[in-house]
Amino acid sequence: MKKLQFGLFVMVLFSACTEPPKEPVVWKSIEKDLQAQFIMAQDGDVIELPEGNFMFTRTLSMDGKSNITIRGKGMDKTILSWKNQTEGAQGMQISNGKNIVLEDFSVEDAKGDNLKVNDTNGITLRRIRSVWAEGPKTENGAYALYPVLCKNVLMEECIAMGSSDAGIYVGQSDSVIIRNNKAYWNVAGIESENSKWVEIYGNEAYDNTGGILVFDLPGLTTYGHSTKVYKNTIRSNNHKNFAQKGNIVASIPPGSGMMVLATHDLEIYDNDFKDNTTVGVAIVSYELVAALNEGEQEQESSIGGVQTVNNNYKADSLYNAFPYNIHIRDNRFSNKHWFPTFQNDIGKLLAMKSMFNPPDIVYDGIPDPERSERGICIKENEKIIFINLDAANEFKGLSKDVKTFACDDEKTLSLK
């Protein structure tokens, strides 16, 4: 038997040693032909992308088209790269469209956003791999997948990696489904910002700075509400924050599973939160974000529409800086880490207040002067570590009593 095992070992070793070297990647250009197809496309056309590796030097754009499908041969077979981009910020951009489907290809290394879709009613991104190939870097573009000001958005079975803001993002849009995607090595894995009627489910968000964000920010064209986040795996989001300084996501402490900022009518249920070293779920107001960024210089503009800290947010009279009607129930929390991380100020604070194990749910506790009943409702089946920070009073009234936020049937019904 030993002789047989030794023989097999030698065969495996010999096979590994004699494996032929990989062929070098051959890059080709289809830039002019493909841009021409985008311009000439007619209602109902299917544009087939060939198998291979293709380099682009400027933004590939399609504007004002309806009922178009752009289809590659597979995420690992059709690779579109903007590594040598000389014009434009985006890699691919779809604008003012209706019923557009993009599927089965990869986009890489744009200066700004890899794939942007704006002002489009009906956009499907399916099996798109959008990455910065050299891994996480501050110099990377902001968004891997970036629908904004759209309606009827579907993003499914995609992969996003390396974004210096959010990997899978939707902004100022309505009627959105984000499902069965993977996001890793981004600052924010998945983000819904100022969007309404959003469902985020079946996704894996791991090794980002923050796993999933649901944000409402001031100074934009619309505000978000009515979001459901369920059946996701949100684990080990402990990556160093590599966002540009001053950007809103630069405020996310590494180790954040999910962050809820100043939005309302949100349900979070049946998710797995695992091994996030700062917090499982954080519920915070814009007051806290502004306080944490006090002294930061507001940025006037950024490549790719990145949202920066707004020091003048109180001037937006329509903006509500406080989260309300947040319902958290039936999730599963686990953590192999014994202590909250000491790598950021929030982690240090939580370590002081919750010495053993990072907390599962943290609420900043800053009161809304216009709304005494906030509808923050927590109903977990297992014992959790909860902290109400009372941040407005320098943590003097900090409490770990989650019973104050126990759900009742009336609260549950109000969110449906």
Is pLDDT larger for residue 3 or for residue 256?
Answer: 256
Kindly indicate the confidence band of residue 413, based on its pLDDT and cuts at 50, 70 and 90: very low
One DSSP character per residue, 269-283 reads ES-EEE--SSEEEEE
Least confident range of 10-14, 267-271, 368-372, 411-415: 411-415
Kindly indicate the confidence band of residue 338, based on its pLDDT and cuts at 50, 70 and 90: confident
Residue 38 pLDDT greater than 70, yes or no: yes
pLDDT of residue 193: 97
pLDDT of residue 22: 75
pLDDT tens digit sequence for 355-389: 677 899 999 999 999 888 889 999 999 999 999 99
Question: One-letter amino acid identity for 204?
Answer: E
Question: How large is the average pLDDT for residues 101-111?
Answer: 98
Contacts of residue 326, defined as CB under 8 A and 6 or more positions apart, other chains included, come to: 260, 264, 266, 268, 283, 374, 375, 376, 377
Kindly indicate the confidence band of residue 293, based on its pLDDT and cuts at 50, 70 and 90: confident
- Percent share of the chain, pLDDT over 70: 87
pLDDT tens digit sequence for 168-203: 999 999 999 999 999 999 999 999 999 999 999 999
CA dist., res. 90 & res. 85, Å (int):
9
CA dihedral 203, 204, 207, 213 (to 10 degrees): 20
Residue 88 pLDDT greater than 80, yes or no: yes
CA dist., res. 396 & res. 308, Å (int):
30
pLDDT of residue 314: 82
pLDDT tens digit sequence for 240-279: 999 998 888 998 999 999 999 999 999 999 999 999 999 9
Kindly indicate the confidence band of residue 296, based on its pLDDT and cuts at 50, 70 and 90: low
Residue with tokens 């107001």: 285
Q: Which of 77, 174, 140 is nearest to 306 (CA)?
A: 140
Kindly indicate the confidence band of residue 303, based on its pLDDT and cuts at 50, 70 and 90: very low
Mean pLDDT of the chain: 89
Q: Are strands 182-184 and 159-161 parallel, antiparallel or unpaired?
A: parallel
One DSSP character per residue, 125-190 reads EEEEEEE-TT-S-TTS-SEEEEEES-EEEEEES-EEE--SSEEEEEES-EEEEEES-EEESSSEEE
Least confident range of 4-8, 54-58, 217-221, 335-339: 4-8
Residue 354 pLDDT greater than 60, yes or no: yes
Question: How large is the average pLDDT for residues 305-322?
Answer: 78
- Percent share of the chain, pLDDT over 90: 72
CA dist., res. 322 & res. 255, Å (int):
23
pLDDT tens digit sequence for 119-161: 999 999 999 999 999 999 999 999 999 999 999 999 999 999 9
CA dist., res. 239 & res. 206, Å (int):
9
Report whether 34 contacts 60 (CB < 8 A). Answer: yes
pLDDT tens digit sequence for 43-57: 999 999 999 999 999
Kindly indicate the confidence band of residue 308, based on its pLDDT and cuts at 50, 70 and 90: low
pLDDT of residue 355: 64
pLDDT of residue 357: 79
3-state DSSP: the chain helix, strand, coil percent, rounded to 5? 15, 40, 45
Contacts of residue 35, defined as CB under 8 A and 6 or more positions apart, other chains included, come to: 60, 61
pLDDT of residue 307: 64
Cα distances (Å, whole numbers) of residue 249 to 97, 187, 193, 275: 29, 7, 12, 21
CA dist., res. 107 & res. 92, Å (int):
8
Contacts of residue 7, defined as CB under 8 A and 6 or more positions apart, other chains included, come to: none
Report whether 136 contacts 242 (CB < 8 A). Answer: yes
Q: Are strands 151-156 and 188-193 parallel, antiparallel or unpaired?
A: unpaired
Residue 113 pLDDT greater than 80, yes or no: yes
pLDDT of residue 325: 96
Element (H, E) at 352: helix 345-353
CA dist., res. 366 & res. 377, Å (int):
16
